[in-house]
Structure 1
Amino acid sequence: MKNFKIAFVAIFLVVTALWLMADSLLPHPLNFFSFRKPFIQYSGIIGFTAMSVATVLALRPRWLEGRLHGLDKMYRLHKWLGIAGLSAAIVHWWFTKGTKWMVGWGWFERPHRPKRGLPDLSTLEGWLQSQRHLAETLGEWTFYFFVIMMIVALYKRIPYRWFQYSHQLMSVVYLIFAFHFVVLMNFDYWRQPIGMVMAVLTLCAVCCALLALCGKIGKKYRHTGVISALQHDGINQTTTVDVSVAGNTWGGHQAGQFAFLRFDGQDGAHPFTIASAWQTQAAKLTFVIKELGDYTQGLQQKLRTNMPVRIEGPYGRFTFKDTCDTQIWVGAGIGITPFIAALEQLRAQPQTERKHIVLYHCVKHISREAQQQLQTLAEQAQVTLHWYRDEIEGLLSADTIAGQVQHWHTTSVWFCGPMPFGVALQKQLQQHGMLGKQFHQELFHMR
């Protein structure tokens, strides 16, 4: 299991175990209302935990990127936590509000509850009790807004710029939820291990939310540059963008990494794979941008030479580092970009340090010029290049790889391209006996 999957499961197992040390979902006597009270607490803790960890991940911490094997895996965990937080919040909301409706419908009879006296404002517990109504009201209306923003984030037909705008407001949403959580969590929990853990997690996430609101995400790794050259390929529907980094501030990168680019006057920052090896003398980065989504559609008409660019990075762990003497590279469509950088980096290495590489480029259409450039680069790097066009050779399969690469069971596979294709290819290879840890795939999707 990949690290981010382990982390996702472990987060909820640990929190559940700590909560069970403080409470139970099987009170005595067991009925709907006796179950409802601790379950509201538990669902709130699960949902808030997911939101808190997602808020920390949104700050793109480098120390976590290494442990999760890349920012793409970190963002996948961030997305899963967002969905988990939304799911838990919906359940939490239903047990809170839905119960009142069901009582009104006559489905349940509300048990008698003694009236609460006025809280003692001289104590922390009393002050928190005095804020219950405000916390409940803010939490309810923020929940509705949170649901709308999550729909915007997950429904890919909504324009990318709206996704970015909604995510900028997530920090405000989290801060309101933090107030709701701190006030309404069972006060006795704060004296238990679950309370101590939630206190630390809340404090960390609140700090991250405030930093995000102040525009500090990735600030340490921001650089300025200008577009020095543009080249459009109508056949491949790609635009090659050369960016000169101002003042040689870019400290270098490894082939396979990516950076966030923000073009002057365009919406937000967007991740693009760096399609060139780093050369200190040139201080230039190359990006190949394909017209795929609403952000990149028509972007090439908006770009111009000498346009300012803000660069943030480098990020990613798709860097071809392993112990295998032979590697199989599969670049599908625009997924060839990290391999172009790797070829440039490889040809500059001494021959004794090079591994045996077999590169498959799967593509529907390619211009003669782009084909020749890739072929020449592969020859210079002494890499075996195979072309796979859908209309001619069909889709690349594990059978094809097994027939063309000797001892392929002991190799590693590095895949970049459409996710369904990568998942299918990995499944085929594993059915042929390849270990899952030998297959490396970029999972980077902003949505």
Structure 2
Amino acid sequence: MSVHSWPTQSLRIRTMFASKAAEPALWRLLSIVTLLIIALWWLSAPRDLFSAPLSVTEIAREAILLSGVWAYVLLTLAIVVVMRWRWIERPLGGLDRCYRLHKWAGIATGAVVLLHCVLEWLPGGLARARSQPSADASRQLGLDWNAATQEMAELANGTMLCALIAIALLRSIPYRWFRKTHRLSALLYLATTWHALLLLPPQLRFTPLGALIGLSALFGCAAAVVSVTGGVGRRRRVRGTITGLEAHNGILEVECTLAARGLPHRPGQFAYVCFDPAEGPHPFTIAGADPGARKIRFVIKALGDYTGQLANRLAEGQQVTIEGPYGGFDFRGTAREQVWVAGGIGLTPFLARLEYLRWLGRRSPSVTFFYCTRNAATDPYVSRLRTLCTQTGVTLALVDSARQRPLDFDAIAAGLRDPSGAELWFCGPARFGATLQRAWRTTGLPGRRFHREWFEMR
């Protein structure tokens, strides 16, 4: 990485940590998991543990145990939520939010693993403050399982910690390498499970805390096996052929005809598209579809090395694999008034929704659509949006950065008929979305009525 790329990396890191304030539901969930672990540890502790003041060794032993369980449960949560299982995706609000939870649960795991290691490495023998019955049980097998699992766990935890930091902070790592190395985390999880189960003190195995560890191991190992064998999302894949390509102003429209069946979806959802098996699948919003002809369309902006080369790599007749649909950004709100805000390529879910409304013959006069563009004169979608909005009754408010100041929340609020009965749907740059969401909450509007697509899968 060049010296000049460090400011960009620093900006991305600041944006990543600042955006957590805009997703309180995610942090509430992580806090609930933490409190649950503490409560189960309290219920599972020996009755005489707190009958007298604890010694330093006893405090160290319990701290090592609690931090180890905490890290293991967080790690299990991180791996299970990205298995693309519908029964997990739906209550969390879509796969994009699952990946948000995955990222922050992974970062939290790294921090707790570091705490766990520090507690073990403290001077004065605290690092050896372990449960003797567990060591005795391993010696009965004729092998020093404690030593073996300790070495494996330290290697796994150290590698995992480095990987989590690199994946979370270094976007300069190409996606194809990120995808391949990230799959190794499933193997590291299996090694960590061995460590957790074997070193769990026998007196805790049939307690509420032991039950939590057992359930975590059950779901986590199942998820790890599915991941290692390439089974994630396998049942939701369909083959297709590229039947149309159109490139203009750094944007590529790809039309695919599906082979055997269509891809039933709601406007605003996305799918994983694999153009090259060596590169792997990438997520793209479904910009339009013709169910009768089994056609589906994606609008892809050249934002990186991979997407920037697609216009030269793809050709009509090329085979593709599409997996989905995913996401909860589907405009199924209950408010009387909707405000849509799109920035740049973030217009794709709204474009899909407008085409769907036109296909239904439905008019939506209660919708106001703010579309932010760098230059309306050269934007290839302005004309199409105007036509679609006229046909569907949607009020289009074009924000042309070349001629007017950027859109802010005051301008949005000024156009609301009844703020208390409105909801906002946003798709666009992360910093812009975080700013709008903070302003939305500051005005006292319900946070559940601010819908945002977190289109960041790493």
For 1:129-151, what per-residue CA distance to the aligned partner results, in whole angstroms no more than 9, with x for missing partners? 84111100111111222123213
How far apart in 2 are the matches of 1:113 and 1:54?
A: 27
**CA–CA distance in 2 between the matches of 1:218 and 1:113?**
41
Q: 1:417 aligns with which of 389, 412, 428?
A: 428
Distance (Å, rounded) in 2 between the aligned partners of 1:114 and 1:79: 33
Structure 2 residues without counterparts, runs of 5 or longer: 1-22
> One-letter code of the match for 2:334?
T
TM-score by length of 2: 0.88
Is residue 18 of structure 1 aligned with residue 40 of structure 2? yes
Question: How far apart, CA to CA, are the structure 2 residues paired with 1:42 and 1:211?
Answer: 28
Which whole-Å CA distance do the structure 2 matches of 1:52 and 1:410 have between them?
39
Change over 3 Å in CA distance of 1:114–1:63 after alignment to 2: closer
Q: Aligned equivalents of 2:126 and 2:88: distance in 1?
A: 49
Indicate how the Cα distance of structure 1 residues 120 and 188 shifts in structure 2: closer, same or farther if over 3 A, else same: closer
Instruction: After TM superposition, list the pairs within 5 Å mapping 1:147-186 onto structure 2.
Output: 147-154=161-168, 155-186=170-201
Identity of aligned residues (%): 32
> 411, 433, 437: which one pairs with 1:426?
437
**TM-score using structure 1 length:** 0.90
SS at match of 1:274: strand
Contact 1:3 1:68 in 2 (8 A): no
Q: What is the aligned partner in structure 1 of residue 266 from structure 2?
A: 254
Task: Give how far 1:404 is off.
Answer: 2.6
Whether contact under 8 Å (2:239, 2:320) holds in the other structure is yes
1:144 pairs, out of 141, 158, 164, with 158
Indicate how the Cα distance of structure 1 residues 3 and 68 shifts in structure 2: closer, same or farther if over 3 A, else same. Answer: farther
Q: Compute the displacement of 1:78 (Å).
A: 1.0
CA drift at 1:169: 0.5
- For the residue of structure 2 that corresponds to 1:232, the secondary structure is strand
Paired residues in the alignment total 432
User: Within the alignment, does 1:386 sit opposite 2:408 as a pair?
Assistant: no
Equivalent of 1:210 in 211, 214, 225: 225
Q: Deviations over 1:280-308 (max 9, x none)?
A: 22211111111223432322222221111
Cα distance in 1 for partners of 2:135, 2:337 equals 73
Instruction: Indicate how the Cα distance of structure 1 residues 20 and 114 shifts in structure 2: closer, same or farther if over 3 A, else same.
Output: closer
Equivalent residues in 2 for 1:14-413 (5 A)?
14-23=36-45, 28-96=52-120, 98-99=121-122, 102-103=123-124, 119=136, 126-127=140-141, 130-154=144-168, 155-234=170-249, 237-247=250-260, 249-276=261-288, 278-351=289-362, 354=364, 356-366=366-376, 367-413=378-424
Q: Deviations over 1:286-335 (max 9, x none)?
A: 11111223432322222221111111100111110112232110011111
Q: Deviations over 1:79-109 (max 9, x none)?
A: 111011111111111222x22xx34xxxx79
Q: 1:111 & 1:208 partners in 2: Cα distance?
A: 32
- By how many angstroms is 1:113 displaced? 10
Corresponding residue SS for 1:191: coil
CA distance in 1, matches of 2:34, 2:417: 43
CA distance in 2, matches of 1:364, 1:200: 51
Q: What is the CA–CA distance in structure 2 between the aligned matches of 1:118 and 1:46, rounded to whole Å?
A: 22
Residue identity matched to 2:343? A
Q: Work out the CA distance in 1 between the residues paired with 2:386 and 2:295.
A: 23
Q: Deviations over 1:152-188 (max 9, x none)?
A: 3112122222211111111001000001111112221
| Aligned-residue offset at 1:395 | 1.6
Return the offset for 1:231.
1.1
Q: Which amino acid aligns with 2:446?
A: L
The secondary structure found in structure 2 opposite 1:311 is strand
Question: Is there any run of 5+ residues in structure 1 with no aligned partner, and where?
Answer: none
What is the alpha-carbon root mean square deviation over aligned residues?
A: 2.6
Q: Which string of whole-angstrom CA distances, capped at 9 and with x for unpartnered residues, describes residues 338-371 of structure 1?
A: 000000011122447x452111111213535422
Deviates more, 1:421-430 or 1:332-341: 421-430
CA distance in 2, matches of 1:329, 1:398: 12
Paired residues of 2:358 and 2:391 also in contact (CA < 8 A): yes
Aligned equivalents of 1:343, 1:114: Cα separation in 2: 63
Q: Given residue 349 of structure 1, which amino acid in structure 2 is its aligned partner?
A: L
Aligned residue for 1:139, secondary structure, equals: helix
